[in-house]
Every structure is written in structure tokens, then in C-alpha cells.
């Protein structure tokens, strides 16, 4: 009986840790202010990634065409990917968030080179 309780507690603990991990974190408001704060945090932590946005052919928005290839070398984050859009206002906020974040991250990456 005691072993069963330990297994249940272990399963619950694993689920809670998975659901609250920073990897699953999403911006609450998708605001430009949040994008700047996240970019500054990630830059300070040397955690480089780029947000991708769009439908069938998503891309790292906010990057000049000549630097778009830079994002291919780093992890991709979902900044509003998908063809079906039910909330256009949310999708627009996601685009602006992604652009703001990516511009700051690109500046950091280019400065490091």
C-alpha cells in the first residue's frame, strides 16, 4: 500500500514539474514589453532562440532578409504558427512580439560574431 502511494506521488510530482517548466512557458499578453523583457533575460542567460511566425511557411519575422538564415542555426520558438487563425488580434500580437524579440536577439548574435 505504501509503495502505491509513493508511485502516485511520484507521478503527480513529475506531471507538475513538466507543466511548470520554463520550456513550456508562454507569454501572458504577447506584448512588446514582454518580448523585450524575455529577450533581455535570454541574452543575459546566453540562451539564443528565435520566434517563428506564420502559416504554412512560417519564418523568423523581424529579421532583414540577408540575416534570416542566422535563425536556422538556433532553436525555434512558436510565435504564432499555424494556418487556422481564430483570433486575429492574438495573432497580430504574436507577430509583433516575435518581431521585437527577434530584432533584439539578432543584434546580440551579430555582436557576438
pLDDT-based confidence at residue 113 (cuts at 50, 70, 90): confident
Three-class SS state of 54:
strand
Q: Whole-structure pTM over 0.95, yes or no?
A: no
Question: Length of the chain, please?
Answer: 113
The per-residue pLDDT of the chain, averaged, comes to 85
Other C-beta atoms lying within 10 Å of the C-beta of residue 88: 8
Report which of residues 24 and 85 the model is more confident about. 85
No. of H helices and E strands in the chain?
A: 3, 2
All structural domains of the chain with their residue ranges: 28-112
93 and 32 Cβ atoms separated by less than 8 Å: no
Amino acid at each position: 500500500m505504501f509503495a502505491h502511494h509513493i508511485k502516485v506521488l511520484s507521478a503527480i510530482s513529475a506531471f507538475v514539474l513538466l507543466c511548470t517548466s520554463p520550456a513550456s512557458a508562454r507569454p501572458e499578453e504577447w506584448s512588446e514589453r514582454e518580448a523585450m523583457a524575455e529577450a533581455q533575460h535570454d541574452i543575459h542567460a546566453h540562451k539564443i532562440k528565435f520566434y517563428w511566425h506564420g502559416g504554412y511557411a512560417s519564418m523568423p519575422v523581424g529579421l532583414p532578409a540577408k540575416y534570416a538564415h542566422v535563425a536556422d542555426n538556433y532553436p525555434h520558438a512558436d510565435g504564432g504558427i499555424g494556418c487556422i487563425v481564430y483570433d486575429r488580434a492574438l495573432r497580430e500580437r504574436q507577430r509583433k512580439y516575435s518581431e521585437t524579440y527577434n530584432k533584439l536577439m539578432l543584434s546580440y548574435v551579430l555582436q557576438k560574431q
